Amino acid sequence: MRYLPLTPNDRASMLATIGAASAEDFYTDVPEAGRLKAKIAGLPDHQGELAVERHMTKLAAKNRAASAGPFFVGAGAYQHHVPASVDMIIQRSEFLTTYTPYQPEIAQGTLQTMFEFQTQVAALTAMDVANASMYDGSTACAEAALMAARVTKRKKVILSGGLHPHYAAATRLLCEAQGLTVVHLPISIDGEGALAGAADGETACVIGQSPNVFGTVTDLSGVANAAHEKGALLVSVFTEVVSLGLVTPPGEMGADIAAGEGQSIGNGLNFGGPYVGLFACKDKLVRQMPGRLCGETVDADGHRGFVLTLSTREQHIRRDKATSNICTNSGLCALAFTAHMTLLGGKGLKQLAELNHEAACELADALGGVKGVEILTPRFFNEFAFRTPVDAEAVLAMLDEAGVVGGVRASRLFPDGHMGDVIIAAATECTTADDIAAYVAALKEIV
């Protein structure tokens, strides 16, 4: 077997050194009832590379790749172009096949990139400090709610009606498990502002999203002020990190915690994972933060170096008193993020954001021109909701037949939201004029 270096001779000589008759001797602690005599039934035997590759390629061929044609699906994950060098960098063995940097003397590569990642995320979100990543945006959002409860010692969490419903669900789950109360404001395309009136003296945090799940961008400054007056925190969420090149970032709106999805920079769609959760906060809250942090220090020779720090927040030291149970996070996805962000630079990101916005504006103008279509999102970055004159599921199925993946039906995200005729569509730098023309042409045939 190609991944197992021991030969039968090796095994025999090692058993002799150990003083064991066979490998069976090592399993005598296993109760008789649990010991399998033969190999497990019902699974195939080992196969060579070629056979495995054939099997996997066949499965892959049954899926329609985003790049195969006009594609407008967003709502939490976005099609973007990732430079070739990013994948080369993350496939570098020393990054790909190393562990969490527990031994900093031989992990300065990972640690320095973590430090650079934290610096980039802090700058993008306009927050004081960022951690070294979470699993994804939804879990970052949930952890932000828990952190706010720790900071304020309060038990009520208020979610906006425009928060991505999966983020809301993940947040509700963890909060309720800890005995917190979750209030979810009514679904609303342009309702982030309603958070301002929702906070009261028992509120730990209000959670708003901009751009929200319908694409609406909102200045949450008023919400922040209202929350702060009541002693509550503002958690500002985003699912499209490219927007931060152009749209008001959490820090400029007075957010106490920023939580979002970083997939759009450096990471492919991957059917939903692995992605990279971004998490940033104000300086004074750092000791209540979940997740790993990398900090600057010096080595015994006085040279600058980096280490994992403030570990007394974490589960491997604090156990049942840790700020979170998170251990492994999204290291390699964070590296992909930081490498792509490095290639972009501040100027490149801004330009990328402009291109995304323009593509969405052109798409909105084109779709808005189709009879019976109504654009519902008042202010948007690269994504918006629109109403079709017929059932959205039927529209999307017919678009699909025309080779256009037209977006996400809102009813898939909000089954009880009475949104059967609403589609959420995204455009990015990958969207071409031909893609938009194909969309419009197909839609005209349907409605």
Site for other proteins in 238-257 (CB under 8 A): 244-249, 252
**Contact (CB, 8 A) for 69 and 405:** yes
Binding-residue total with other proteins (CB under 8 A) = 212
Residues numbered 401-430 forming contacts with other proteins, rule: CB under 8 A: 405, 408, 412, 415, 429
Residue 410 CB coordination number (10 Å): 27
- Residue 254 CA to residue 408 CA, distance in Å, equals 31
8 binds other proteins (CB under 8 A): no
Position among 149, 232, 234, 269 found at the interface with other proteins (CB under 8 A): 269
- Residue 318 CA to residue 255 CA, distance in Å, equals 28
Residue 125 CB, shortest distance to other proteins, in Å, is 10
97 binds other proteins (CB under 8 A): yes
Residue with Cβ nearer other proteins (76 or 161): 76
Residues numbered 180-209 forming contacts with other proteins, rule: CB under 8 A: none
284 binds other proteins (CB under 8 A): no
Position among 200, 202, 229, 354 found at the interface with other proteins (CB under 8 A): 354
349 binds other proteins (CB under 8 A): yes
User: What mask, x for binding other proteins by CB under 8 A, covers residues 130 to 149?
Assistant: x-xx-xxxxx------x---
Residue 45 CB, shortest distance to other proteins, in Å, is 4
Q: At residue 323, what are phi and psi to the nearest 5 degrees? A: -75, -20
Measure CA of the first residue to CA of the last residue in the chain; give whole Å: 58
| Angle, vertex CA 438, rays to CA 436 and CA 443, nearest 5 | 95
Characterise 428 by phi-psi region: left (phi > 0), alpha (psi -120 to 50), beta (else): beta
212 binds other proteins (CB under 8 A): no
Residue 140 CB, shortest distance to other proteins, in Å, is 10
Residues numbered 27-46 forming contacts with other proteins, rule: CB under 8 A: 27-31, 33-36, 39-46
300 binds other proteins (CB under 8 A): yes
Greatest Cα pair distance, the chain, in angstroms, is 83
Position among 15, 183, 402, 438 found at the interface with other proteins (CB under 8 A): 15
**Contact (CB, 8 A) for 187 and 214:** no
| Edge-to-edge order in the sheet of strand 181-184 | 129-130, 277-281, 257-261, 233-238, 203-209, 156-159, 181-184
390 binds other proteins (CB under 8 A): no
Helix (H, G, I), strand (E, B) or coil at 196: helix
